[in-house]
Amino acid sequence: MSAKIAKTIARQKEKVAEGNFYEAHQQLRVITSRYLKSADYNSACDVLYNGSLLLLRAGQGGSGGDLALMLLNDVYIKGEWECDEENKRRLLEILHAFPKDEPTRKRFVSEMISWSGKLGELERGDPEIHHEVGKIFAEEGEAYDAERHLVLGTPASAPILASLHYTWYTQDQPHLAPIYASRSVLPYLLVGNLASATTALSTFTSHLTTSNPQLLAMSQPLESSKSGVSLRIFPSIPLLNFLSLLLLAAPKGDSTLFKQLAKFYAPYLKDADALWSDALANIGEIWFGIKIPRQGGNPLFDMMGSMLFGGGQGGPGAVGGGKSGSGHTSRSGTPKPAPVATKKEIERPPAMDLD
């Protein structure tokens, strides 16, 4: 930042301290416009970046957000600035300065991700940006918004997403654990991220067994001697077992194995059909080469939109209604809770070659 711009920011800082927010905002816009007129994007960036932070941290979300959007649209996009670490750093610092309830933040997030998709490596947006946005929404308890971003985030996103889903699950009925676990596992598989899907299920299961030690005591290990992967079979939660075995089967790409797994768990999968059928069909194509009919558009992203999970549809998948963060909600189409008074025989999958 040049000495001239530093003086400009210092003067506006004094105005903000005196409560002259409107005057500071307007002067920052006028000064920026001069730099933009001469295509001096670096100077315009310095003014807008520092000015937006100054106003946002003073609680002026509208004015600060306006300058933040100017930075994105008039500098980053018009100047075709690449999505590199320094450019991301500025935007993420501004993002964290937004007040929670500032309406401009939503537009800023949308346009920031759009910029990163156009001038970054991935069309769906930069993973680090998705991670930071998702983490903020998770901390604020905005589950629907959080999961849409965390699914497209970094490896660090998976534990956050799974923990969010577990917290959400604890506000619902006990037998719905697999449904909530699937909200991270299946979307991660749909975007081709097996590692994060595995981390998410492991995190969710760890929370579940820590809070319910009787589940761990009643479970039985199932290990793959060749791969070294191990999991546990839970007698009262067959759909959770299905998710675990699906993750073991996915890297093999064996369509027969996938069909065998689906056939064995068919009596239980019918309970989750409304939630999982489209996702599993696409997973069958992505991971196991089982083609499904196409009817134009982008069915994968259409399905992802419904799996992630139509916020207006109620709880996880909208079976029977319900809302995130609300109390216990009765839902149809899900397995009934298993009795815990007696130890059930361990439900075993068929003799599948998972090694």
pLDDT at 235: 87
Supply φ then ψ for residue 351, to 5 degrees: -75, 80
242-263 per-position pLDDT tens digit: 999 999 999 999 999 999 999 9
CB atoms within 10 A of CB 252: 17
Q: What percent of the chain has pLDDT over 70?
A: 80
Contact 178, 243 (CB under 8 A): yes
Minimal CA–CA distance to 243: which of 176, 185, 312, 291? 185
CA gap 111, 76 in Å, rounded: 11
- Tokens 């259409």 map to which residue? 302
CA gap 149, 135 in Å, rounded: 8
- Helix, strand, or coil here: 231? strand
- Tokens 């018009």 map to which residue? 78
Q: End-to-end alpha-carbon separation of the chain, Å?
A: 58
What six digits make up the tokens of 18? 């005196």
- Tokens 């409304």 map to which residue? 274
Contact 146, 153 (CB under 8 A): no
Q: HEC states along 120-149?
A: CCCCCCCHHHHHHHHHHHHHCCCHHHHHHH
What six digits make up the tokens of 141? 């308890």
pLDDT at 97: 98
269-317 per-position pLDDT tens digit: 998 988 999 999 999 999 999 998 766 555 555 555 555 544 433 445 4
Q: CA 50 → CA 43, 54, 64, 227, distances in Å?
A: 11, 6, 10, 52
Minimal CA–CA distance to 40: which of 4, 16, 89? 4
Q: Which domains does the chain have, with CATH numbers?
A: 1-81 (no CATH), 107-155 (no CATH), 156-221+229-290 (1.25.40.10)
Please tell me what DSSP assigns to residue 277: H
Sequence-distant (6+) residues with CB within 8 A of 210 are none
CA 217 to chain CA centroid, Å, is: 32
Q: Spell 180-192 as b/e; 16+ CB within 10 A means b.
A: bbbbbbbbbbbee
pLDDT tens string, the chain, 355 residues long: the values are 788 999 999 999 999 999 999 999 999 999 999 999 999 999 999 999 999 999 999 999 999 999 999 999 999 999 999 999 999 999 999 999 999 999 999 999 999 999 999 999 999 999 999 999 999 999 999 999 999 999 999 999 999 999 999 999 999 999 999 999 999 999 999 999 999 999 999 999 999 999 999 988 888 877 666 656 667 789 889 999 999 999 999 999 999 999 999 999 999 999 898 899 999 999 999 999 999 876 655 555 555 555 554 443 344 544 333 333 333 333 333 333 333 333 334 344 444 554 4
Contact 63, 106 (CB under 8 A): no
